[in-house]
């Protein structure tokens, strides 16, 4: 089976693209899918920061400069996820040759089910290549006009490159206006809203602890959204234990500890 390559893109920075890439990738790995995430934002890399890999000696910078092999830049992440971070130094960025990413992809997809590429925000040469090597592109947007307008430009560029927009992840959505947001975004961008990730304080807390939210706070609203998205992409049914069931389970366990029995 050939790996499916998804590029996670956005028109502007700050939409939650990197957080989406990391948590979607981790959630896919938790489903038993062989998954690798790659930070193609060689100028403003953040993926490694979210996992504590910022001090890695070999990153995508070294690979794209020709001084290292891609296999040397692959690190073990949570739940069996593979991670290729980019470096933080300006010198590493200057020495990188973005065109080499096409060569790198050949080695990355071997033996994988999914490859997720965290693309640079905006429209630039560095941003075009991650779009060009993708099988499918997912746009991450916020429910605000500027984010939508920039996402439209990225969508147009993706289609010019002959690539396919799989859909949109509406991040930091307002739950009380869920359907309104979903319909408006889908209509404006001309693409299906794959998932809506609500504003969730656990996202920042998880980032501070350098652990994906799907692992650190598995039952939080944003975590459930990311896991539901992963299940949808993997073609699997998503099941969620309700709060009521959790409480009953706790009571049952408490009763067993007091009165004994199975």
Position of tokens 């969620």?
240
Share of the chain above pLDDT 90, in %: 63
**pLDDT averaged over every residue in the chain:** 87
Whether residue 38 has pLDDT greater than 50:
yes
Q: Is a pLDDT exceeding 80 seen at residue 118?
A: yes
In this prediction, residue 157 has a pLDDT band, given cuts at 50, 70 and 90, of very high
pLDDT of 125 > 90? The answer is: no
- When pLDDT is averaged across residues 71-91 and rounded to a whole number, the result is 90
Alpha-carbon distance 97 to 16, whole Å? 26
Higher-pLDDT residue of 45 and 252 is 45
pLDDT score for 124: 73
List, in order, residues 6 or more apart from 10 with CB less than 8 Å away: 17, 119, 121, 139, 140, 141, 147, 150, 151, 154
- CA 48/CA 104 separation, integer angstroms: 18
pLDDT at 165 > cutoff 90: yes
Residue with tokens 């652990």: 211
User: Token digits for 201?
Assistant: 């304080």
Residue 42: pLDDT band (50, 70, 90) is confident
Domain 4-237 superfamily per CATH: P-loop containing nucleotide triphosphate hydrolases (3.40.50.300)
- C-alpha to C-alpha distance for 171 and 213, rounded to whole angstroms: 14
- Could you tell me where the DSSP H helices lie in 49-121? 60-65, 90-95, 101-108
Look at residue 82 and give its three-state secondary structure: strand
Report H helices in 133-220: 145-160, 178-189, 201-209, 213-216
Strand segments (E) across the chain: 4-9, 35-39, 75-76, 82-84, 114-118, 136-141, 164-173, 193-198
Token duo for residue 66: 């020709």
The residue ranges of every structural domain in the chain are 4-237
DSSP state of 85: P
Residue 262, pLDDT above cutoff 90: no
When pLDDT is averaged across residues 230-249 and rounded to a whole number, the result is: 69
Of 143, 121, 160, 124, which Cα lies nearest the Cα of 7?
121
pTM, two decimal places:
0.88
Q: Distance between CA 39 and CA 44 in Å, rounded?
A: 9
pLDDT for residue 45: 84
Question: Please, which pLDDT band fits residue 122 given cuts at 50, 70 and 90?
Answer: confident
pLDDT (0 to 100) of residue 247: 40
Q: Which residue has the higher pLDDT, 160 or 98?
A: 160
What is the average pLDDT across 41-66? 91
Q: Confidence band (pLDDT; 50, 70, 90) for 250?
A: very low
Distances in whole angstroms, Cα of residue 175 to Cα of each of 16, 134, 172, 242, 244: 17, 31, 9, 18, 20
């Amino acid at each position: 089976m050939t790996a499916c390559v998804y590029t996670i893109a956005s028109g502007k920075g700050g939409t939650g693209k990197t957080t989406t890439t990391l948590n979607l990738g981790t959630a896919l790995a938790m489903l038993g899918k062989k998954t690798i995430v790659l930070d193609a934002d060689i100028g403003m890399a953040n993926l490694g920061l979210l996992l504590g890999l910022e001090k890695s000696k070999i990153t995508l910078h070294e690979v794209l400069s020709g001084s290292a092999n891609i296999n040397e830049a692959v690190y073990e992440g949570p739940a069996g996820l593979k991670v290729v971070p980019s470096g933080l130094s300006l010198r590493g960025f200057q020495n990188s040759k973005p065109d080499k990413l096409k060569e790198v992809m050949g080695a990355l997809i071997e033996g994988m089910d999914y490859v997720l590429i965290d693309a640079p925000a905006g429209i630039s040469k560095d941003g075009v290549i991650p779009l060009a090597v993708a099988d499918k592109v997912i746009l991450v947007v916020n429910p605000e006009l500027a984010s939508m307008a920039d996402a439209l430009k990225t969508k147009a560029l993706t289609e010019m490159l002959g690539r396919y927009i799989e859909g949109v992840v509406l991040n930091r959505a307002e739950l009380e206006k869920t359907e309104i947001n979903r319909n408006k975004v889908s209509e404006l961008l001309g693409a299906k809203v794959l998932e809506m990730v609500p504003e969730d304080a656990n996202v920042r807390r998880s980032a501070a602890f350098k652990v994906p939210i799907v692992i650190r706070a598995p039952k939080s609203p944003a975590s459930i959204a990311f896991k539901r998205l992963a299940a949808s992409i993997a073609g699997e049914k998503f099941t969620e234990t309700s709060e009521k069931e959790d409480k009953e389970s706790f009571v049952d366990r408490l009763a067993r500890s007091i009165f004994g029995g199975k």
